[in-house]
Structure 1
Amino acid sequence: MSCQNMQHQWTKYKDGTLTDAEVEELERHTEECDECMNYLQNLLDEEEIQPVTASSTFDQEKAKRSMIRAKWRQRFTNVLTVLSAFILLWLGGSFLSAIYYSFTPKGEYLRTVDKAAIESALPNIYVQNSRTETKPFFRLQNEYTLYKEIGQEQKSVGQYTFHHLFERVTNVDKNFLNDHYNMKLSFAYPERVKKEKDASFYQKWSNETWGALDQLPEGTVSEIALSFDQAYTMEEIEEKLSSTLSSDISPVWYALDTGYEAKGSDTSNPLVDLTSSFGFPSMLELPFYEEKETFTDEERVVQLLKLLADNERTVQQIRWMNPDELQLTNRYKFVKKNGVKIYGIVLTGPTKELLKLKNEPSITYSSLGEVELWNWFTRPTQGTLH
């Protein structure tokens, strides 16, 4: 049965007494009313339509065309409704994401976490450029360009892209230049050195490093990692270096004693490389906290460990180590209790200047990283085109 509003019109339609104006009204209504369209379909199927008046243009063929148009119009309306709802939902989700990440501290907090996770894991790697993109439905994408310092120049090594849902990292895309990153730097943890049965093991490899520095020409700059006979404070490390090196050479990254370097399933490995080392850059920054607080160098490192412990899932996405061996909370507690102690550093500078550390008695192991042509000078201007 047709809808009640048009019942009288359908009666006149079957009797053939509709005027032209009533025909147009019924046609428009039928295109929009499922009930009337179905009623018309039944009439057509049963061939119950009476001959129309001469003035009427609403004949059977036109009725069929109207019904077809009505069906397509309804389909288009349904598609348009779905698309409109999707667009509104997408815009609403984008607006809510912008509010959530841009107008609250959460966006800055996540960028601080991402940066800390990268720079604490990769010796002499730091984040310089970043790009943030908020996405609908409380998603955030942070893209970071990774650099390392060789001499006085910064060298791009790749990009990390963090994907967040609320405050949870869902994935990290790692894109290194040439699709890989060479692990050339390594450290020797003091306790492992003392337990090594072959006393010449570390000395042998250190001699390789010093020999390479000796063979390199004067006009080069190098990157080396040095390990010490015990963990020292940052001030003690500075004193040792200042007595040998020129004042413009200082550590660019510190290997931090977190109490777990001699533990875990990989204790048979005599070296600590970037798969298991924890440390921090010389220019450690924690933007989320430093807008509100002032830290000493040691307090900033302790806060770094706490930040990592509070965001273990993010650290897991960065690290090449067994998640069970992260022990971030225990590492944080160890550093907070015992203070910031350093067992290794990364230096970069003129090759022959670094060679002066060869006879430093507290150095137990050294490894050679990148070597570049001489760049130990200041340019009036420089930049990069993309």
Structure 2
Amino acid sequence: MNDKENTNKEQELNDLFNENNSNKTYDKIVKKAKLISTLRTICITIIVVLILFVVLGFSWLSLMRWNQEKAMKDVELFNQITRPNVEELGPEFIGRDLFNATISYNRYKEIEGTPVNWGDQVFNYSIFGGVRSVEGDRQFQIADRRDGQNRFYDEESKQRMMQFYHPSVEYDYVRNDLINLKDYPSETLMEIGLSFDQSYTPNEVRELLPNNVTLKWYWADTYTDVERLKEGKVTIENSDKTEVIPSLPEISTYIYGFDHIFTNEDESEKNEERFIESIKAGLNNEGGKYYGEYERIYRHLKGEHANISPQDIKVLGVVVTGSASELTELINVKEIRAAELGVTIVPNK
């Protein structure tokens, strides 16, 4: 080893153990380590946040979809036993934010093969659960020129809404639109709500109706408190006067029943069985919006029996459709206590 090489080695050792140089090297190492640690922490934080956002996003989406399906099940199942002769075209999602969403059901009525627009039904559901009606079945009243009594109309379609008269309730006025059918052109297509003089079995109803009219819907006896329908007395506030509130017929929006689907005589009870299955399905949906109503109806229909059978179903009225000339045959059905027109249309020639 020559002198030059020895000198270089000695200088390197001096530089290494020199206090100033050692501090500078240590500072660089520490700064570099801190920088790497900071970058690593930032990267890990970004990855964790992204994963958290993805997890929360999927959780939010899953929860909203679960509540959406639950809300749709609530609405569609309940509509199977309410709103006579009203059909749905399916849900349309018209709005959604972080915690709520809105569903609209486009609806129509079918009168002898002709669809007629009916008011949409709008519901809101939440990520926290629950469903509430936002819009639908809104109505207004106009006095009828013939009898001076108010008629209800659907706000959107401007078509008449039917009313029904319970056989156990006395009313100041009972409407019978059958006597007015002669005033319509014979080809006019219409629906009409019939109220009977007492409850009948579905089989009895099918037998008493003329063959020319189309049976669409049965008004079932689900009443556990008929007294609610009867007239009552109300004391006027800050007065000794008492006002008598007359009994009013049931508007079609607030009654229960089931569709009549064309069947042969051997399968006629399938209509009642479908109604029973709808009630049971509602009972299986514990926590649903209408669970309490399903439970009340089930207990009423079951009575003292272990289960509901088609023979337990009693009918208070029906909805039928046909032409004005066909429906005039109903005038001869003595079991009909009241009749009220709903939708009417004049077919295109």
CA shift for structure 1 position 33: 4.1
Q: Secondary structure at the match of 1:368?
A: strand
User: Partner letter of residue 184 of structure 2?
Assistant: L
Structure 2 equivalent of residue 272 of structure 1: 250
Contact 1:117 1:314 in 2 (8 A): no
Whether the 8 Å contact between 1:226 and 1:365 is mirrored in structure 2 is yes
Distance between the aligned counterparts of 1:113 and 1:283, measured in 2? 22
- Contact 2:224–2:300 (CA under 8 A) maintained in structure 1: yes
Alpha-carbon distance in structure 2 between the residues aligned to 1:13 and 1:360? 115
Aligned to 2:125: 163
| Closer/same/farther in 2, CA of residues 185 and 311 from structure 1, 3 Å limit | farther
Matches within 5 A, 1:343-382: 343-374=316-347
Matched, 1:127 2:88: yes
Q: Which residue among 165, 178, 190 is the counterpart of 1:210? A: 178
Residue number in structure 1 paired with 2:308: 336
CA distance in 2, matches of 1:304, 1:127: 17
Which of the residues 268, 280, 296 maps onto 1:327?
296
| Equivalent-residue separation in structure 2 for 1:282 and 1:149 (angstroms) | 13
How much has 1:78 moved relative to structure 2? 4.8
Are 1:149 and 2:110 matched, yes or no? yes
**Aligned 8 A contact 1:186 1:274 in 2:** yes
Higher helix share: 1
How much has 1:272 moved relative to structure 2?
Answer: 1.9
Instruction: Measure how far apart 1:261 and its partner are.
Output: 6.2
- Aligned to 1:147, what secondary structure does the other structure show? strand
TM superposition shift of 1:116:
2.6
**Cross-structure match for 1:240:** 208
- Of 46, 63, 86, 2:53 maps to 86
Give, in whole Å, the separation in 2 of the partners of 1:132 and 1:227: 37
User: 1:262 and 2:231 equivalent?
Assistant: no
The equivalent position to 1:299 in structure 2, one of 273, 280, 298, is: 273
Instruction: Count residues in correspondence.
Output: 288
Aligned to 1:185: 162
Per-residue CA deviations over 1:89-126 (Å, capped at 9, x if unaligned) read 3225546887x79xxxx96x875553230132212113
Which AA in structure 2 matches 1:273?
I
- Tell me the CA shift for residue 353 of structure 1: 1.5
Q: Following the alignment from structure 2 to structure 1, what is the Cα–Cα distance between the partners of residues 60 and 86?
A: 35
Give the C-alpha shift of residue 227 in structure 1.
Answer: 0.8
Q: Residues 84 and 319 of structure 2 are in contact (CA less than 8 Å); yes or no, is this contact kept in structure 1? A: yes
Report percent identity of matched pairs: 21
Q: TM-score, normalised by structure 1?
A: 0.58
User: How far apart are 1:256 and its partner, in Å?
Assistant: 0.3
CA distance in 2, matches of 1:213, 1:114: 35
- The CA distance in 2 between the partners of 1:78 and 1:174, in whole Å, is 46
> What is the one-letter code of the residue matched to 1:347?
V
Q: Give CA-to-partner distance per residue, 1:236-280, whole Å, 9 cap, x none.
A: 2122223xx42xx3221110012436243x432241223531111
> What SS does the aligned partner of 1:121 have?
coil
Deviation of 1:130 after TM superposition, in Å, equals: 4.2
The RMSD of aligned alpha carbons is: 4.6
Alignment deviations for residues 140-181 of structure 1 (CA, whole Å, 9 cap, x no partner)? 987643332223122342144463769x64334435699757
In 2, Cα distance between the equivalents of 1:373 and 1:122?
Answer: 23
Which has the larger share of strand?
2
Structure 1 residues 214 and 75, CA, compared in 2 at 3 Å: closer, same or farther?
A: farther
Q: Deviations over 1:29-57 (max 9, x none)?
A: 434546xxxxxxxxxxxxxxxxxxxxxxx
Q: Is the CA contact 2:178–2:330 (under 8 Å) kept in the aligned structure 1?
A: no
